[in-house]
A = this chain, B = another copy of it.
């Protein structure tokens, strides 16, 4: 049974606070193992990567076969049925169109002193995308990571995807080709992250690593952060649905299950002003669970971490939602725009009952790599900006330096940074000499 909470209950605040802090994932401490793997890859390069891939993925490779060849990619891609190919192409086109709107603008202006100020955006030169192998090897995630990088203008884009026992997902390779990925390495785990960050004889190092992975991948990304850029460290994900009684309980039920089926530690939450509707949704969930393919995952997720919360009105619903700061937020209410404008913290908002969250996972256009585990309080979904960086620009005229230089000199002296002050003073003296 999921938790049933009602904001009118006297113990609600205590129960909701406890619900918020319930730990859903016990990440194993693999930090030492990962540190050793990274050190090994830095020291022995390809040899270490090949040895570790043989050990963990039972896959013998050589430097020449670390990456898929063009012919192999061609062959695998040819295996994909037309319907799936077309769906991937539609998704890619929509994701591209959305992300192109994110391209930031450069700026330049002159202020009252005559100083010219501004900034300029440039792409990261090379990016590496991590794609999990096995069950969680999602072609949609390839598109969601690779397309923003391409739109940003990344010159060299590579993927690392493990293929345990040599099992390859042709859709992943097709998604990579559609997105314009240059090279696909069949390596995974901490050894792949280390190879991308530091390079080996065969794998050229990249500047930024993104993409989800298991505990080893997450620990490796945390360790190489600084040497390269990384995206977020993904935690267990969640959906929160705010729905009034005008909805079909079964629609809301499958929406909740579409999160629960990802992972036993995923979380699905319904907030509704109608207690009876909440019960109806919970019943619909149970009914769907009887036949759902992934009921062995979705069932425990819903029972252990799911919740149905009854509130007195929609204002209270948004306030509670902000405390959850959900990765995905569905607003199945009469005026979803009005409700949306009240929300402060959410990774992605899906407005109205005709927008199931699954649309956003594949073909909506916005990115499905989103901040999990309450991190929407301070971070955003993956975007073109994650593959770009901003250089600030400043040019002083002699007049501008005369106007603001003395203040800089004063502050430099107050911070005991004499050379800072001298670098301004040398120029101010010249101006004074020249009169």
- Which residues of chain B are within 8 angstroms of A135 by Cβ–Cβ distance? 416
Question: Which of the segments A11-19, A58-66, A307-315, A364-372 contacts the partner chain?
Answer: A364-372
A86 at the interface (CB under 8 A from B): yes
Other contacts beyond A255-B423, A355-B394, A362-B420: 11, CB < 8 A: A88-B411, A91-B407, A94-B404, A139-B414, A257-B422, A337-B395, A347-B392, A354-B396, A354-B427, A362-B408, A381-B392
Q: Which residue of B lies closest to A406 (CB)?
A: B87
Task: State the number of copies, please.
Answer: 2
User: Which 5 A-B pairs rank lowest in CB-CB distance, beginning with the nearest?
Assistant: A229-B378, A366-B392, A351-B395, A356-B423, A87-B407
A79 at the interface (CB under 8 A from B): no
Question: Which of the segments A158-166, A185-193, A291-299 contacts the partner chain?
Answer: A291-299
**Complex formed: what's the CA distance from A343 to B392 in Å?**
12
Q: Which of A376-435 contact B (CB under 8 A)?
A: 376-381, 383, 385, 389-398, 400-401, 404-408, 410-412, 414-424, 426-427, 430
- Which residues of chain B are within 8 angstroms of A373 by Cβ–Cβ distance? 226
- Which residues of chain B are within 8 angstroms of A359 by Cβ–Cβ distance? 394, 396, 401, 404-405, 408, 424
A401 touches which one: B91, B354, B395, B421 (CB < 8 A)?
A: B354
A262 at the interface (CB under 8 A from B): yes
A47 at the interface (CB under 8 A from B): no
**Complex formed: what's the CA distance from A293 to B405 in Å?**
20
Most chain B CB neighbours (cut-off 10 Å) among A101, A340, A392: A392
- Which residues of chain B are within 8 angstroms of A397 by Cβ–Cβ distance? 354
- Which residues of chain B are within 8 angstroms of A421 by Cβ–Cβ distance? 358
Q: Given the interface contacts A410-B87, A411-B91, does A107 sit within 8 Å of B101 by beta carbon? A: yes
A208 at the interface (CB under 8 A from B): yes
- Which residues of chain B are within 8 angstroms of A138 by Cβ–Cβ distance? 415
A261 touches which one: B101, B380, B393, B419 (CB < 8 A)?
A: B419
A350 at the interface (CB under 8 A from B): yes
Q: Do the beta carbons of B124 and A377 come within 8 Å of each other?
A: yes
A250 at the interface (CB under 8 A from B): yes
Q: Do the beta carbons of A355 and B396 come within 8 Å of each other?
A: yes
A316 at the interface (CB under 8 A from B): no
A76 at the interface (CB under 8 A from B): no
Q: Do the beta carbons of B347 and A419 come within 8 Å of each other?
A: no
A90 at the interface (CB under 8 A from B): yes
A4 at the interface (CB under 8 A from B): no
Q: Do the beta carbons of B351 and A117 come within 8 Å of each other?
A: no
Name A's B-contacting residues (CB within 8 A). Answer: 83-84, 86-88, 90-91, 94, 97-98, 101-102, 107, 109, 111, 115-117, 119-120, 122, 124-125, 135, 138-140, 171, 207-208, 222, 225-226, 228-229, 232-233, 235, 248, 250-251, 254-255, 257-258, 260-262, 288, 292-294, 298, 336-337, 340-341, 343-367, 370-371, 373, 375-381, 383, 385, 389-398, 400-401, 404-408, 410-412, 414-424, 426-427, 430
A362 touches which one: B115, B365, B411 (CB < 8 A)?
A: B411
Q: Which residue of B lies closest to A414 (CB)?
A: B84
**Complex formed: what's the CA distance from A398 to B356 in Å?**
11
Q: Do the beta carbons of A352 and B395 come within 8 Å of each other?
A: yes
**Complex formed: what's the CA distance from A28 to B346 in Å?**
38
A419 touches which one: B115, B288, B346, B417 (CB < 8 A)?
A: B288
Q: Do the beta carbons of B115 and A364 come within 8 Å of each other?
A: yes
